[in-house]
Amino acid sequence: MARRATAKAEDHVLDFPTLGILVSDWGEAHCPIPDGFEGGEPFIQYDWQLWNTVKHYQLRREARPDQLATAFRHRRSQIVRPQKAGKSPYAAFVVCAEAVGPVLFAGWAVGGEGYDCRDYGCGCGFVYEYEPSEPMGMPWPTPEIQITATSEDQTDNIYNALRPMIDRGPLSVLIPKTGEEFIRLPNGGRIDVVTSNARSRLGQRVTHVAWDETGLYTPVSGMVKVFDTQSRGLAGIGGRGIEYTNAWDPSERSVAQRTAESKVDDIYRDHPLAPEHLRYAVKDERRKIHVHVYAGSRNVDLDGIEAEAREKLETDPAQAERFFGNRLVAGASTWMDPAIWLASMRTGVRVEPGELITIGFDGSMGTDRPNITADSTVLRGCRVSDGFRWTIGAWEAPGPGPWRPPRAGVMRAFRAAFRRFKVVRVYADPPGWQTELDELRAEFGEKVVVDWWTNRDVAMARALEQLHTAVVTGGAFHDNDAVMLKHVENARRDVRRAMSDSDGSRERVLVKKEHPMSPLKIDGVISDALAFEARGDALASGVLNPDDEIDRSQFTAAGFR
């Protein structure tokens, strides 16, 4: 009799057809725990593993057994879990099922049908009795499975769990020999290992691929082409795969990042994230993060995880947060060292009414999407005489969900600045705000309010470089605005090369978020660069009287130069 999945997918509602319960019961009857103190005992899935099985094998309600490619709801799955959470044994569990288990849709039960292992040459006694209208399953006739990673050592994560899972349980009757490099399956099928250096079996049609650590599949590693080739091979026969990975470095443009950011809706994604406000560098908050992302991994020792994370924090804090906190944190790719930014911060500086200033503006259009945090809207002022910059106004979404910036409030802040100061130039990124900018132009002049498109890589890179150089060399100072500090900390280098202009062909450095959907915003950096760029152009146009003196007294103690 079927056990109907010993583990429970708590906090989830099973209101859709799936082969996942059959696959789970079959797997728990056939797959032992590969090693450790419980080695040889039935592999009972963690709650999160069971739910991934249920979702990966979810069927469309209109599924037909003669239309294999469209029977399942998801073309592939992506599992993003921290280290030691149990990804590799689970991947081996799925590979076993894909090798000889009931993973294909075989129609809808009417009554009295069942799945009997003896029909497929296995004498373990496993029988699953279908309920009426329940989906029925069957094995692949000739399974072709590939376990893929960047190196042989990496493929061992799954392969070394797979072999004892077969050898120590009922599957040893169907699969009597598990080789060092591949495994022959009944009916001419096989399981192969594929790496960037061993691609001999690429290009063939495959029924299942277990991709290990797709966060490491980058253009540099050469694994992007491997992934794309295997994806095409799966599509050719109606096969499907699963990505297993730690959180990736968002500056490396990996396959994992590409999958996560794709807009297609036929990929199932599992990536638990702790609340954004919890700081990984703070021990008590780090513990809360670990409790959240390791939830359901019942054999994980959180004290051991804490010890590993604490040690890694000393040498590579970004990697520690990715590996154990499951967060997308870039490595050594920050646009500006926050310590340098803080060193150029000044408190108590007053910009007097009537002083010449420029303004930079980067405006958000907001969002209607429930799971997205909208970009911020920031007005940044810059005193022409000395380059001191401060925040005139900043409007940020409180969190994920529908939000719109208060356009009337932003316009009031603009007009208040024009009344208080002598605004000689506004550089504004126009998308989404063209109507409001046209209104300002009608009031204050088209030579003052200028559309400054930030999608021009060369011009934007120059503006950012000017600001960066001024801050790093101590040639510009700014206020202690918390929004700006946060946005500077969030900004990552976005290097563009081979862009030719009057300066020749050289590296251009833009800024970007850690990933396009990130809730960590950088709009203040753009506004700050536009304000500083506007100041430079205003000076070049001669807005200052040559005899004007710059009052440097307020900066003297800090070493203004």
CB 322 within 8 A of CB 307: no
Quick check: helix, strand or coil at residue 228?
helix
Quick check: helix, strand or coil at residue 356?
strand
From CA 554, how far away is CA 191, in angstroms rounded?
72
| Model pTM above 0.75 | no
All structural domains of the chain, each given as residue ranges with its CATH number in brackets, are 20-270 (3.40.50.300), 283-325 (no CATH), 338-558 (3.30.420.240)
Q: Can you give the pLDDT of all 561 residues of the chain as single tens digits? A: 344 555 555 567 889 999 999 999 999 999 999 988 888 899 999 999 999 999 999 999 999 988 877 899 999 999 999 999 999 999 999 999 999 999 999 999 998 899 999 999 888 889 999 999 999 999 999 999 999 998 888 888 999 999 999 999 999 999 999 988 899 999 899 999 998 765 556 667 899 999 999 998 977 677 888 999 999 999 988 999 999 999 998 767 789 999 999 999 999 999 999 998 998 989 999 999 999 999 989 889 999 999 999 998 887 788 899 999 999 886 657 788 777 898 899 998 999 999 999 999 999 999 999 888 999 999 999 999 999 999 999 999 998 899 999 999 999 999 999 999 999 999 999 999 999 999 999 999 999 999 999 999 999 999 999 999 999 888 889 999 999 999 998 898 888 764 444 444 456 889 998 778 788 899 999 999 999 999 999 999 888 764 444 443 433 333 222
Packing angle of the helix pair 47-56, 87-100 (nearest 10 deg):
40
Q: Which two tokens stand for residue 316?
A: 């590579």
From CA 416, how far away is CA 425, in angstroms rounded?
15
Cα three-residue angle 197-201-207, rounded to 5 degrees: 125
CA end-to-end span of the chain = 82
Quick check: helix, strand or coil at residue 188?
helix
Cα three-residue angle 502-504-507, rounded to 5 degrees: 120
- Report in angstroms the alpha-carbon separations of 360 from 416, 459, 490: 15, 15, 19
For residue 238, what is the DSSP state? T
Quick check: helix, strand or coil at residue 408?
helix
Quick check: helix, strand or coil at residue 81?
coil
